[in-house]
Amino acid sequence: MYEVFVAEFFLTQTPADNVASVYPEFITRFPSLRSIRTADEGELADVIEPLGFQNLRAEALRAIAADYDDLPRSVDELSSLQRVGPYVANATLCFAFNRRLPIVDRNVDRVYRRVFDDRWPRTKSEQWETALELVPESDPKRYNLALRDFGAAVCTPDPRCEACFANKYCAYYQENVRS
């Protein structure tokens, strides 16, 4: 769970390529919360400096490590940790334990917004509720990873509609591309 948490924590407001360049060294040097707790003050920030926000991230990780030997396994407790919100909490628990939880980052929100158009809720809380209804009982991890990756690779801000399998269901395609 810790490794998944670190990846999701780092992916917040940071491109995946940047995280991939830092993640292996971070996990090697800090394989647990205990190792973060005992690290030198600047060592943590130095390793994650290429991600940006290194001081804020290091401070949050130190605060979490000061309070926990193992990360909490409930959404509420995990999302209450410093700089950890619903997305990081849900993604961590879904990807680590295949728990049926929604993830709504900007890529997933864009996919849902384009497919559902006016039927996609406007408020964050309603979006999370609707997203939960859409997550299948079987293999939610696979669903969420596929949806997130699809939003990053195909349903991008400048969409690649010609590569999309869902054009006949997509309100965006029907209204903006097909016509």
Q: Say yes or no: 45 and 88 in one domain.
A: yes
Whole domain around residue 73: which residue ranges? 2-97
Residue 93's SS3 state is helix
What is the CATH classification number for the domain harbouring 124?
Answer: 1.10.1670.10
pLDDT bucket at 40, cuts 50 / 70 / 90: confident
Q: Inform me whether the pLDDT recorded for 35 exceeds 70.
A: yes
Q: Inform me whether the pLDDT recorded for 177 exceeds 90.
A: no
Give me the chain's average pLDDT, please. 95
Q: Say yes or no: 116 and 37 in one domain.
A: no
d(Cα 101, Cα 94) in Å, to the nearest integer? 6
What is the CATH classification number for the domain harbouring 14?
Answer: 1.10.340.30
Q: Say yes or no: 61 and 12 in one domain.
A: yes
Q: Say yes or no: 23 and 79 in one domain.
A: yes
Q: Say yes or no: 32 and 68 in one domain.
A: yes
Query: Of the residues 97, 116, 143, which one is the last residue of a structural domain?
Result: 97
pLDDT bucket at 178, cuts 50 / 70 / 90: confident
CA dihedral 21, 23, 27, 33 (to 10 degrees): 140
- Count the domains in the chain: 2
Q: Say yes or no: 92 and 118 in one domain.
A: no
- Higher-confidence residue: 33 or 176? 33
Report pLDDT for 179.
Answer: 66
Q: Say yes or no: 124 and 76 in one domain.
A: no
Residue 43 near residue 55 (C-beta atoms within 8 A) = no
Report pLDDT for 134.
Answer: 98
Q: Say yes or no: 111 and 55 in one domain.
A: no
**What is the average pLDDT across 144-164?**
96
pLDDT digits (tens, 9 = 90+) for 89-104: 999 999 999 999 999 9
Report pLDDT for 172.
Answer: 93
Report pLDDT for 11.
Answer: 94
d(Cα 8, Cα 3) in Å, to the nearest integer? 9
* Closest residue by Cα to residue 97 from 68, 140, 136: 140
Cβ neighbours of residue 165 closer than 8 Å, sequence gap 6 or more: none
Q: Say yes or no: 124 and 89 in one domain.
A: no
Query: Of the residues 97, 115, 140, which one is the last residue of a structural domain?
Result: 97
Active-site annotation, residues: 8
Q: Say yes or no: 154 and 92 in one domain.
A: no
